[in-house]
Structure 1
Amino acid sequence: MGSGVLASCLLRKRLPSNKKAGASIDLKALADVKFASTTAAVFLIEFAVFIPYSYISAYAMHYGFNSQKAYLLNTLLNVGAVPGRALPGYVADRFGTFNTMCITSFVCAALILTLWLKAAGEEARTTSFTVLYGFWSGAAISLTPVCISQVCMIEDIGKRTGTAFFIASFGALTGIPIAGAILEASDDSYGGLIVFAGILYISAFATFVLARGIAGGWCWAKLF
């Protein structure tokens, strides 16, 4: 907190105030195809990312884990997310932010639809999925604002980031209850919930690929 107070005292505006730019949500910015496609990708990944975080413990108890082991999975998930949120920034500097998001979203989809779907409550597979997903899902938190900033002018970063996450918040807020409704409709079988999360991640991957192509071109050797 002390460092935050010191930083606040030392901060100075880099650019003069621009009343025309404003700081409000700007839905008209969606007319920009680069921004709109990136926002759609962020929406889908925020829709998907929190489903395993919310249901992994209940899934484990459903398959006979004791409560201590089941709740330990949430700890492991978040432990995996610590390097998973820090390291993608370094990787993105070398290989490109959108390229990194494409890779991490694809890996998350693969982990959900193979390791988690096939685990059937088996302890080693479930634990492995938890740690690996925690790591690979971290980029959905740390890199999505960077993707947004990459497709807008520097003076619009605040406004467009706010707009994108305003839209993405609806995905984050509804993904968990929709997954719960699927679980309830499936008589507490987790297969439907897992497939739903996997499909969302595949959709996010495809949309990130599209957004990357629109904003940065289709040459994958290019750092973008």
Structure 2
Amino acid sequence: MPPTASENVTALNHLDPQNHHELGPLPACNEEDYPDGGREAWLVVLGAWCAMIPSMGLLNTVGVLQAWVSQNQLKEYPEFDIGWIFSVYAFFLYIAGPIFDAHDARFLIVPGSIGIVTAVICLSFCEEYYQFFLAFGVLAGLSASCLFTPAISAIGHWFDKNRALATGIACTAGGIGGIVFPLIILYLAPIIGYGWAIRIVAFICAVTGFLACILLRKRLPHNKKAGASIDLKALKDVNYALTTLAVWLIEFAVFIPYAYISSYAIHQGVLPQHAYRLMALLNTGAIPGRALPGYVADRFGYFNVMLITSFTCATFIFALWLTSGSSEPAITAFAVVFGFWSGAAISLTPVCIGQVCKTEDYGKRSGTAFSISSFGALVGIPIAGAIVQAQGGEYEGLIIFAGAAYMAAFGAFFVARLVAGGRDWRTVF
């Protein structure tokens, strides 16, 4: 069982002074048991990076896809309905954690790679709403989960002191995919057609998925007791429950700007090509925004860094996006800075969960937390779309809603940090 809140406070008195990791109940094995580097460990990071190109890369392309289908194949549908296609993808992304604990990584990686390539090829032929929903929302979402969860969880088997940095480096793949995939759609679709542009994306997914199958592997033995179920009883642990709530709120908030920044720009009169390019610029900011916070968090604390990044994201939403109006430079500036500061929502949330659970339960606990959080991702995008629809196509309410959600996430991380890490804010936690 994970430590109770009182046990965790006691354990804070036994921190390693160099690395500030608990030596008591949290780790599954001693700190020196982790390779924390070396050829094998970094090859696993490379495998995780390859697995995140198709899974997180497609997730970071939803803004372009949503804007494209809204202007073309599904132009007769309201934003609320279209939003469900992409929120379902985010919903399914986080459900495979418990399966990873009980089986070899390839048990998920192989079907996930095949499934996501099949889904993207099907996407290239879609014309009707139900086809987009099944191909991208359901099949691609389920397949992405089989890639994303092993990628995140396997890193926790190989790294301890540098876990956030290693996870952040792997998560840069989502930003790179979020640059390459929109640019393929933006520049190749007018030349070779939308269908063939999407099939090129499928080919990239096939190559990176194959490399992930070869490189990604676990270090710790299978935990057969984990099974393929989520562990709701773990929520009895106050530290874990508060962290799960904070992750739920951050996942609820982060996808709203990703999904609607291109649509917002088009609504404000920005040329469609320039609006689609915003996703590439946003993900350009997200690449250092996922690696750098990991490096800083390993030294100053995962929760401490999440507090800073979530508050900064809320500030930029209110101060820059809300006031940008039809100014293309202001919209572009927001896309870049939000991409950077929002990167921690993807790269640090898994290690925050790992901070309050045993390593051998990492897959199941992270899977449970993200399964719960997936409901936030599921409803966030459609609710934002409903706000746009209720305001007659205006986006002011959506932007305020996104900023308020980020402030709520900041508050939840503040409480989780206070309870799990103690009141001494100088403690690295």
Q: TM-score range by the shorter chain?
A: over 0.9
TM-score, normalization: structure 2?
0.50
* Relative contact order, higher structure (CA 8 A, sep 6+): 1
8 Å CA contact 1:38, 1:208 repeated in 2: yes
Deviation at 1:3, TM superposition (A): 5.2
TM-score when normalising by structure 1? 0.93
Matched, 1:196 2:401: yes
Structure 2 counterpart of 1:87, from 277, 289, 292 = 292
Checking the alignment, whether the CA contact within 8 Å between 1:63 and 1:121 is kept in structure 2 is: yes
How much has 1:124 moved relative to structure 2? 1.7
* TM alignment of 1:45-60, pairs within 5 A: 45-60=250-265
2:262 partner letter:
S
Report the Cα offset of residue 75 of structure 1: 1.1
Matched, 1:150 2:390: no
Alignment match, 1:180: 385
Stretches (4+) displaced over 2 A: 1-8, 11-15, 17-24
Is 1:110 matched up with 2:315? yes
CA RMSD of aligned residues (A): 1.6
**1:7 is the counterpart of 2:222:** no
Q: Does 1:97 align with 2:305?
A: no
| CA separation of 1:73 and 1:3: change in aligned 2, threshold 3 A | closer
Decide whether the 8 Å contact of 1:23 with 1:158 is kept in 2: no
Kindly state the Cα deviation for residue 82 of structure 1 after the two structures are TM-superposed. 1.1
Q: CA deviation at 1:5?
A: 4.4
**Aligned match of 1:165 in 349, 352, 370?**
370
In structure 1, what is the Cα distance between the partners aligned to 2:242 and 2:406? 15
Match of 2:338 in 1: 133
Report the structure number with the largest CA radius of gyration: 2
* One of 26, 37, 47 as aligned partner of 2:231: 26
- Note the C-alpha offset of 1:182: 0.6
Alpha-carbon distance in structure 2 between the residues aligned to 1:12 and 1:157: 12
Q: 1:68 Cα shift? A: 1.2
Show CA shifts across 1:141-160 (max 9, x none). 11100000100112211111
| Correspondence for 2:410 | 205
In the TM superposition, what is the alpha-carbon distance from 1:13 to its structure 2 partner?
A: 4.5
Alpha-carbon distance in structure 2 between the residues aligned to 1:144 and 1:109: 17
Pairs aligned (count):
221
**1:221 is paired with a residue of what secondary structure?**
coil
In the other structure, the counterpart of 1:42 is 247
> What displacement does 1:19 show?
4.0
**More divergent stretch after superposition (195-204 vs 68-77):** 68-77
Higher mean Cα deviation, 97-106 or 22-31? 22-31
What's the CA shift for 1:195? 0.5
Query: What fraction of aligned residue pairs are identical, expressed as a percent?
Result: 62
Give the gaps of 5 or more residues in structure 2.
1-207
CA distance in 2, matches of 1:12, 1:184: 46
CA contact (8 A) 1:148 1:160 kept: yes
* Higher mean C-alpha deviation, range 140-149 or range 71-80: 71-80
